[in-house]
Amino acid sequence: MTGDLPFAHVAIIGLGLLGGSVGLGVSAHLPGVRLTGYDADPATRARAAERGLVDEVFPSAAEAVAEADLVILCVPVGAMASAAGEIAAALKPGALVSDVGSSKQSVAKALATALPDQAVIPAHPVAGTERSGPDAGFATLFQHRWCIITPPEGADPELIARLTAFWEALGARVEIMDAAHHDLVLAITSHLPHLIAYTIVGTASDLETVTRGEVIKYSAGGFRDFTRIAASDPVMWRDVFLSNKDAVLDMLQRFSEDLSALQRAIRWGDGDALFDLFTRTRAVRRSIIEEGQDDARPDFGRSDHEAAG
């Protein structure tokens, strides 16, 4: 470490919601760290400079990482290989490369291939909103959220400790996990819920012409929550599903089987089966609140007039 700082110079590649939030979080909690950044979109670079997401925005990824001790790739998982290729020749010896991607096995493989001689430790801060772009970031995004670090075999323990300290400084709770296990866990806790939300909202969209606008007009709270999830960045989620397809398909098969059982219970009037399921799922909700991973206020904190319906 440099003094009390885990890294003296951090470069962020990709200045949208996550990259911007990392930059703002570092400025708020690690004020001695130098921040540089780059984004492939010129408009995003300009807006990132206006908002002060980093100290200096560079016109190329290579320039942004040239003197960095830690490089964080905040790009869609499908773009990790190309982003790593852009910076490979510019990285200084000893620099650590990490990321924020939602699937870890594919990212680890892509980065190891593109950066065979560089220290690489993937990570996944389990935090986000449905918004994207340089205006979406905020400094407290990672507060009280988990960041899962998935070190490859043989990773330097000191670098793992420094990366852990970095995310803890931004307010996150850190868990060390095997990449394959991460992908399986996130398939059910994050990826499958997004897939279901996209499907339900897509079905409702198909029905919109049939119902003459009533799907939107009479949207109840449950449907509105699905639309929030389904408003997430389409590029990012397309890449997540393709990069973690084995785990997602496994969880989707299990979900399909459970859905079929639920369909049978409704068809045959099996109220006991429905009650047992709903009791178990209610307990899961309570456990999430007890872990501090969501708002305990009724109806997800909506105001009373919003909660109607």
The CATH code of the domain that includes 144 is 3.40.50.720
Task: Report the alpha-carbon distance of residue 215 to residue 205 in Å, rounded.
Answer: 8
Q: Are residues 134 and 209 in the same domain?
A: no
- Residue closest to 225 by CA, chosen among 165, 299, 174, 291: 299
Where do the DSSP E strands lie in 90-131? 96-99, 119-120, 123-125
Last residue of a domain, one of 158, 177, 196: 177
Q: Are residues 289 and 168 in the same domain?
A: no
Segments forming the whole domain that contains residue 236: 181-307
Identify whether 165 is part of a domain.
yes
pLDDT along the chain (309 residues), means of 10: 82 97 96 96 97 97 97 95 96 96 94 95 90 91 94 96 97 96 90 87 77 70 80 86 90 91 93 90 76 60 38
pLDDT of residue 299: 53
Domain holding 206: CATH number? 1.10.3660.10
Helix (H, G, I), strand (E, B) or coil at 155: coil
- Residue closest to 19 by CA, chosen among 58, 57, 53: 53
| Domains: count for the chain | 2
pLDDT of residue 22: 97
Q: Are residues 81 and 167 in the same domain?
A: yes
Identify whether 3 is part of a domain.
no
Q: Are residues 165 and 207 in the same domain?
A: no
